[in-house]
Structure 1
Amino acid sequence: MKCRSQILSILLFCCPVIVIAQGINLPVSEKAKINFSGMIQTQFNYSLDDDIDINGMHHSGSEQFSHNSFSVKRARLQLNATINDRINAVILVNFGDFTGNPQNKVLENAFIKYSINDYVNFQFGQFRPQFGQEDNYPVDLVRSIDYSNQYYLFGSNSWQSFQIGASYFGEIKDIAIPIKYSIGVFNGNNRNQTGDNDDGKIFPARLVFGLGKTTLLGFSGGAGKNLGEKIWAYGADIDYKQKLNETWGIELVSEYKQGINSALFFSRATPAASINNFAMRGIYFQPNVSYAVKNSRLKSLELACRYEYLDSDFKQAGNARQSYIPMASASFADAYAIRVQLGYLMDRYQENIPNTTQYNTNRIICQVQARF
């Protein structure tokens, strides 16, 4: 019944959207401008290990499972309404979530932004807090198959991914070292919730410094309370881009984060346990080389390789995960509007745990995306 209810809710949302798109007069300000955009991301996933399925799950028994499969990972539709010169509203939904369990998913962005000038901007609703370099670009512009494992772990702890709250942000451009800044307050219980589950809030903040024309240096930090327990997280990242000539370009993105794994604490802790013993940390490096092609169809070729180390419980019996993802991609339109990626995902765990996803895996992933 929950799934049917959510499908009905999405259909009720889509009906006025379709009406607007067809040009029927609705009570919208005459000066409002409404733009639609979307993205489709499909995958073919192939496991090279006989006892590992397409999701990285180990199977020690004789049960049937799939070693290869096609899937629709994301099917997004975004509405951006510019109400006046200072206010705009954004709604982003991912219909790809209906292929799995759509509970507390589907709706991604739903916010109102109020901009006074470069220095003073406010945002209210559901959106991604600024807590790392990966929050600065949509997934279809990521130089790998997906966001890092670190991004999803810190997202499950409410520091990244889509959260409900408010933020203040801006930038100072006309100085020797330009600065971007952001500070927010969020419920801290992840997206698509009817309300907060306690009185605690989290307060993430971020500073990004522009070092010349090629380098961005970012620092993130935050603190808050979750169900009466004090939590915190911090991180640093660097993004280096250099165009060598009209044909070649290089980029390096690297990020380190550490914080309290409150999600793990509340799922496993005994009453006498200390939340400070449940700590997570991770780091990744991702170099990327691009080659521009002067062709009416093919626009660019890229080679990238991400290395990532992540431990979700390093102070206790953690099981560190190392990931290696070499990847090649080809873009057939500007700004990755049409892109084909081929990646080789290798996961290596400190300890293999049978019949779980914490097991060494080797998978090939082919991803095709279209932005419009």
Structure 2
Amino acid sequence: MLIIRSNLMKFKILTFLSMLCTPVLLKAQGVEIPVSSKTKLTLSGMLQSQFNYSLDDDVDIKGLHHSGDEHFAHNSFSVKRARVQLNAAINDRINAVILVNFGDFTGNPQNKVLENAYIKYSVNDYVNFQFGQFRPQFGQEDNYPVDFVKSIDFSNQYYLFGANSWQSFQIGASFSGQIKDIAIPIQYSVGVFNGNNRNQVSDNDDGKIFPARVVLGLSKNTHLGASGGVGKNLGQKIWAYGVDIDYTKKLNERWGMSFVSEYKQGINSQEFFGQETPAIPISKYAMRGIYVLPNVCYSFKNTRLKDLEFAFRYEYLDADFRLAGNSRETYIPMLSASFAEAYAIRVQVGLQMDRYERNIPNTTQYNTNRVICQVQARF
């Protein structure tokens, strides 16, 4: 069975690569293919590799506590992400984007691998439509890919709200735009999504979620964002909201700093539907979290080392604060070195310390200390 799965994964990878390479091969063989002369194709990629080391004798690299004598790994190398993106600029108004993560094949690829798959139609700065699978605008972390995060990864909050369909990759449509030439510039987005996460054949009910976001440019360096959304999931009314602020300042030619903070709260429908006999109403299952992320950067000139950064993320998150919540606090001091512009080559070393309100043996809800070394290449 393992051999069959391995061969199936290899077949999928080869199939995808052959699809990307087919136009090149056909052209080399003298076969004409109908591609518009105005279409511009851009192929890019990103690779993230990690080394994890658990500092706790009874906790493995995934944060799972072990009270018995079973064998488990305290350290391991892994491929976190191996992404390939194809961007097709069909004309001056229409773009099509496909993004896949081959790193998902190392685990359970079901409902994963495909991340972005959308078409964007841009009329002007004020009117933009997007259709397909992409990330809804529902927070600061939706504004940039993970390879530009000022920490080792997105926040725990991002993944929890993503599991509840407000962030991460979702299937639907959105309208967005921005107004620049006013005293306080405004960015806005409103969308409608299936609400059952990515890579689904179709929606599992008639309910949809409607997220919206507004960002105010308070100054050149400061932006204030507000997000909110309502929807239905299997007949249950759900909602979420959040507020965030980011500040970026170039102090001089060498020194720079930035600060990001977000607060969110909403209904944890995933927790509700995960119970055999859930408490009623669904509003009893509520999640909330906040994080702050200051970052200091020092730039070098005429050296292979371009930037050296220090970041410290503190996060508080409770996935079920109205019932049997077990709040989690996370501390991540991290040092990052960039050897090319825009994090094209980046090495990060961080210490992730998780502290729970109460330790639950033999689960991942247990205090952990983990050293993470991550190497990133963008091309």
2:21 is the alignment partner of 1:15: no
Question: Aligned ranges for residues 79-228 of structure 1 at < 5 Å?
Answer: 79-228=86-235
- CA separation of 1:113 and 1:6: change in aligned 2, threshold 3 A: farther
* Deviations 1:25-84, CA, capped at 9 Å, x for gaps: 432212101000000000000000000101111000111100000000000000000001
User: Given residue 39 of structure 1, which amino acid in structure 2 is its aligned partner?
Assistant: M
2:291 is the alignment partner of 1:288: no
Is 2:9–2:105's contact at 8 Å kept on the other side of the alignment?
Answer: no
Indicate the SS of the match to 1:322: strand
Distance, in Å, in 2 between the alignment partners of 1:230 and 1:295 is 57
Is 1:3–1:103's contact at 8 Å kept on the other side of the alignment?
Answer: no
Specify every segment of 5 or more residues in structure 1 that has no aligned partner in the other structure, as ranges: none
Pick from 213, 225, 236: which aligns with 2:243?
Answer: 236
User: Given residue 44 of structure 2, which amino acid in structure 1 is its aligned partner?
Assistant: S
Indicate the SS of the match to 1:96: helix
Distance, in Å, in 2 between the alignment partners of 1:76 and 1:51 is 33
Distance, in Å, in 1 between the alignment partners of 2:278 and 2:157 is 28
Distance, in Å, in 2 between the alignment partners of 1:31 and 1:98 is 35
Q: How much does 1:211 deviate?
A: 1.1
* Deviations 1:333-369, CA, capped at 9 Å, x for gaps: 0000000000000000001000110000000000000
User: Given residue 138 of structure 2, which amino acid in structure 1 is its aligned partner?
Assistant: F
Distance, in Å, in 2 between the alignment partners of 1:7 and 1:260 is 39
Is 1:3–1:102's contact at 8 Å kept on the other side of the alignment?
Answer: no
Which is worse superposed, 264-273 or 201-210?
264-273
Q: Which residue of 1 aligns with 2:259?
A: 252
User: Given residue 20 of structure 2, which amino acid in structure 1 is its aligned partner?
Assistant: V
Pick from 65, 68, 86: which aligns with 1:61?
Answer: 68
Distance, in Å, in 1 between the alignment partners of 2:221 and 2:307 is 20
Q: How much does 1:276 deviate?
A: 0.4
User: What's the C-alpha RMSD, in Å, of the aligned pairs?
Assistant: 1.4
Distance, in Å, in 2 between the alignment partners of 1:57 and 1:144 is 22
User: Given residue 17 of structure 1, which amino acid in structure 2 is its aligned partner?
Assistant: L
Distance, in Å, in 1 between the alignment partners of 2:237 and 2:7 is 38
- CA separation of 1:290 and 1:297: change in aligned 2, threshold 3 A: same
Distance, in Å, in 2 between the alignment partners of 1:283 and 1:202 is 23
Question: Aligned ranges for residues 289-328 of structure 1 at < 5 Å?
Answer: 289-328=296-335
Indicate the SS of the match to 1:222: strand
Specify every segment of 5 or more residues in structure 2 that has no aligned partner in the other structure, as ranges: none
Distance, in Å, in 1 between the alignment partners of 2:115 and 2:71 is 34
User: Given residue 241 of structure 1, which amino acid in structure 2 is its aligned partner?
Assistant: T
Distance, in Å, in 2 between the alignment partners of 1:49 and 1:284 is 25
| TM-score, scaled relative to structure 2 | 0.96
Pick from 328, 341, 351: which aligns with 1:334?
Answer: 341
Q: Which residue of 1 aligns with 2:77?
A: 70
Distance, in Å, in 2 between the alignment partners of 1:258 and 1:3 is 41
Indicate the SS of the match to 1:19: helix
Is 1:2–1:103's contact at 8 Å kept on the other side of the alignment?
Answer: no
Question: Sequence identity, in percent?
Answer: 73
Q: How much does 1:295 deviate?
A: 2.9
Which is worse superposed, 29-38 or 124-133?
29-38
Is 1:305–1:326's contact at 8 Å kept on the other side of the alignment?
Answer: yes
Q: Which residue of 1 aligns with 2:356?
A: 349
Distance, in Å, in 2 between the alignment partners of 1:44 and 1:94 is 19
* Deviations 1:244-302, CA, capped at 9 Å, x for gaps: 00110010000000000000000015266210000000000000000001133110000
Indicate the SS of the match to 1:268: coil
- CA separation of 1:272 and 1:66: change in aligned 2, threshold 3 A: closer
Give the count of matched residue pairs. Answer: 372
Q: How much does 1:12 deviate?
A: 2.9
Distance, in Å, in 2 between the alignment partners of 1:3 and 1:231 is 40
